[in-house]
A and B are shown apart, each in its own frame.
Chain A
């Protein structure tokens, strides 16, 4: 074990003496240890959470939350599993928002860039208020993305929205009733299915497998006993 107990120990005064802070969960005041995540604060307060928790790793968007810090009028957004509570914080989880998602057969689209306006006719009505960008917990320039989608720059949109966790917080704030995350999802899929190069070597490999190019090797390997197989494996570096 470690030779010296004080050596190689990271200072965490907040862990040794957790300070209780007062926060408001959906309008109700509770005391919780400072610095725990918003989700953990809810558990600490005895609230059973079913809707509103998903991956707990910042990837699924289930825990979209509105919050405000002490004395600040600005209501902000966060992922509850990725945000620490602080004194005077007030938050409430975003309820499922009834945004309209278009349905489409992605592979059968004839003119995906034009089809955007059929599936999401509200997309070009953006009034540039920028509220969507401010609402994005993933720091995506959502407004810019909507415009790029409308102008047919699908490639840029697909790159900008690779970080999108589909939390949907860009949607309730939109005064033009656009659901930017859904628009971007359509655009990204269209980019992948229609405007990306077909990887030639992938087709070659599929054909090789179909034509049985590896059959001899398979036959050799699958006939080996455990010892022979282990020896063979050791030769592959």
Chain B
């Protein structure tokens, strides 16, 4: 059928739906729903990791294979040093920039290396906002509780307390750097309500929050003259005889040469795994989200946490084809956008946590109440015109310019027609286990941002990622810089790699897979 004919049911039922309130699930119903429909519970997609720090722990097959993968580095590779620094930051997104700026600000000689350009990351795409308890009726404690509920009570309490308490000072830092957060008429920060939150707490820059923060942080990294190594992909870490991290080997993607960097501390801020397309899901993630940091950290002996749980953002575009996987920001639901099945019915409280909303969409589709496309995809409607109906014409244009433009490019006016959506692979809830200074169990190896694990439990609350990046970027940067003063540069060896290879051999791992992946293989090979 013509898409406009199928959309009629959304238009027809709009007025009736507006008056309807849908209660949130009881904890029991919610658990039942998630266990039945959430992709984290699809047992066939999982297997135990054969060896290494997380031996026996289950994760998705795609990730397990990469974690067990071999290094591209040969045993007798030349480790002559090209660059020396106090703090080596690997990754140029939000956590990497925050880490580099704070390490540099604390007087450390800092290098920021990234496999694409400075700023290429998921951070730049964050639209929904940043959770910080600035409103008088809100508090860091309430932020803590909301996050804990969202994370199924599995969050690391110490990490979480640090994040919520440092939030307000992070907002101040960003404002001083010139970030233009939305304001109320009285000059105070405007806060929006996010899914799974009991209080309005999202700071926003219209629907360009991540972009605005990243424009400013990138500019600041350049202004501070922090040394950059762009198009340099980390392919192996280096360790001394005691197993402490002492540097990294990069591949320069322009000329394929190795670049060896020695550092007193190394901060991995390499982001997530969306481009592994686990369980065949499309993804909202950027080109480089291939979980490189997890592989590097795992080989050198760092323990991972919660790596069996991933976030599928409820609203990834399903139509048109060109936008498959692209995010339709949660902000639309925060402002009252409703989810509607093929029968014109709502089926979930749209402001429930992401895992609940995603599971309920999958349920609707599996039970035949979805709308299918000829390319074999399925989804439900997100009633975007409802926002203009509810808050007046021009609401979408004013509050969601990025969304409007993205669909307009393909001839779709989301203020007139609903959008077809289905969950898209969005975020890695777990990652490398860290302490409150962002350090791993491998000395002098820090991890910040999405690559780290523990903070978000089994489901990250909307808006907590941008804050995570800033808080743990800062803490890793400051701790690493502080340590540089009292530490001597350790030797550069591949002892950890020899140990890892011996273990792989013992477990008969002969998959031949080389990790990290660096970039996904999208190029069509012919013949």
A and B found bound together:
yes
B252 to chain A, nearest CB (A): 11
Q: Is A192 in contact with chain B by the CB < 8 A criterion?
A: yes
A51 in the interface (beta carbon within 8 A): yes
Give the segment of B219-227, B294-302, B332-340, B387-395 that binds chain A.
B219-227
Given A10-B374, A189-B219, A193-B177, verify A214-B125 contact (CB < 8 Å): no
A214 to B327 Cα, complex, angstroms: 36
Once the chains are docked, how many angstroms separate the CA of A40 from the CA of B523? Answer: 8
Q: Which of A19-27, A124-132, A142-150, A228-236 lies at the binding interface?
A: A228-236
Comparing A52-60, A65-73, A172-180, the segment that makes contact with chain B is: A52-60
Q: Which residues of B contact A196 (CB under 8 A)?
A: 175, 180, 183
The answer to whether A55 touches B120, judged by C-beta atoms less than 8 angstroms apart, is yes
Q: Mark A33-54, 1 if CB is under 8 A from B, else 0.
A: 0011100100111111111011
Tell whether, in the assembled complex, residue A214 and residue B139 are in contact, meaning their CB atoms are under 8 Å apart.
yes
- Asked if B135 and A236 make an inter-chain contact with CB atoms under 8 angstroms apart, the answer reads no
Residues of A within 8 A of B210 (CB): 59
| Closest partner residue, chain A, to B116 (CB atom) | A54
Indicate with 1 or 0, residue by residue over A123-165, a CB within 8 angstroms of chain B CB atoms.
0000000000000001100000000000000000010001111
Closest approach, in angstroms, between the C-beta of A140 and any C-beta of chain B? 11
Kindly supply a per-residue 1/0 record for chain B positions 387-416, scoring 1 wherever the CB is within 8 Å of any chain A CB and 0 otherwise.
Answer: 000000000000001100110011000000
CA distance A59 to B366 in the complex (A): 33
Residue of B nearest to A9 (CB): B372
Chain A residues, Cβ within 8 Å of B141: 214, 217-218, 221
Decide if B2 is an interface residue (CB 8 Å cutoff). Answer: yes
B513 interface residue (CB < 8 Å to A): no
Pick the contact of B161: A11, A35, A218, A230 (CB < 8 A): A218
B149-A233 in contact (CB<8A): yes
Binary CB contact string for chain B from 151 to 186 against chain A (1 if under 8 A, 0 otherwise):
001000100010001001101100111111001000
**Is B519 on the interface with A (CB-CB < 8 A)?**
yes
With A8-B342, A163-B402, A209-B168 in contact, do A15 and B180 touch (Cβ < 8 Å)?
A: no
Contact for B223 among A36, A84, A106, CB less than 8 A: A106
A177 to chain B, nearest CB (A): 19
B322 touches A37 (CB 8 A): yes
- Interface set, chain A 193-237, CB cutoff 8 A to B: 193, 196-206, 209, 214, 217-218, 221-222, 226, 229-230, 232-234, 236-237
Contact residues in B for A204 (Cβ distance below 8 Å): 136
**Do A199 and B188 contact each other (CB < 8 Å), given the known contacts A1-B368, A55-B286, A221-B144?**
yes
Q: Are A8 and B371 in contact (CB under 8 A)?
A: yes
C-alpha spacing A60/B116, complex, angstroms = 11
With A55-B286, A218-B141: A205-B117 Cβ-Cβ less than 8 Å:
no
* B 283-306 to A, binary, CB cutoff 8 A, 1 in contact else 0: 010110000000000000000000
Would B169 and A206 count as touching, CB distance under 8 A?
yes
**A179 CB, nearest partner CB in chain B, Å:** 13
Contact B1 A11 (CB under 8 A): yes
A14 to B148, CA, bound (A): 46
A8-B6, A44-B524, A163-B208 as given contacts; A199 in contact with B148, CB under 8 Å: no
Please tell me the number of chain A residues within 8 Å of chain B, measured between CB atoms: 85
Question: Would A192 and B175 count as touching, CB distance under 8 A?
Answer: yes
A201-B117 in contact (CB<8A): no
State A55–B409 Cα separation when bound (angstroms). 17
Evaluate contact between A103 and B222: CB separation under 8 angstroms: yes
Output the nearest chain B residue to A166 by Cβ-Cβ distance.
B215
At the interface, yes or no: A190 with Cβ under 8 Å from chain B?
A: yes
Question: Are A202 and B189 also in contact (CB < 8 A) when A54-B286, A57-B286, A166-B215 are?
Answer: yes
| B472 at interface, CB cutoff 8 A | no
Nearest A residue (CB) for B373: A10
Q: For B106, what are the chain A residues with a Cβ–Cβ distance below 8 Å?
A: none
Contact between chains at B134 and A205 (CB < 8 Å): yes
As a 0/1 sequence over residues 87 to 106 of chain B, the CB contacts with chain A under 8 angstroms (1 = contact) are 00000000000000000000
Residues of B within 8 A of A84 (CB): 322, 410
Chain B 195-223, CB-CB to A under 8 Å as 1, else 0, gives 00010000001101011100110011011
Contact B188 A200 (CB under 8 A): yes
**With A189-B177, A196-B180, A205-B168 as contacts: A10 and B3 at CB distance below 8 Å:** yes
Does any Cβ of B come within 8 Å of A185's Cβ? yes
B345 interface residue, CB < 8 Å from A?
Answer: no
The residues in A between 102 and 132 inclusive whose CB is less than 8 angstroms from any CB of B are 103-107
Residues of B within 8 A of A2 (CB): 368, 370, 372
Q: List 8 A-B contacts (CB under 8 A).
A: A9-B1, A50-B231, A51-B254, A162-B206, A164-B215, A202-B168, A214-B139, A233-B148
Chain A residues with CB under 8 Å of chain B are 1-3, 6-16, 35-37, 40, 43-51, 53-60, 62, 82-84, 101, 103-107, 138-139, 158, 162-166, 185, 188-193, 196-206, 209, 214, 217-218, 221-222, 226, 229-230, 232-234, 236-237
Besides A14-B321, A197-B187, 15 more A-B contacts (Cβ < 8 Å) are A9-B1, A11-B1, A54-B117, A54-B286, A55-B122, A56-B287, A60-B119, A82-B406, A104-B223, A162-B180, A189-B216, A200-B187, A209-B169, A236-B145, A236-B149
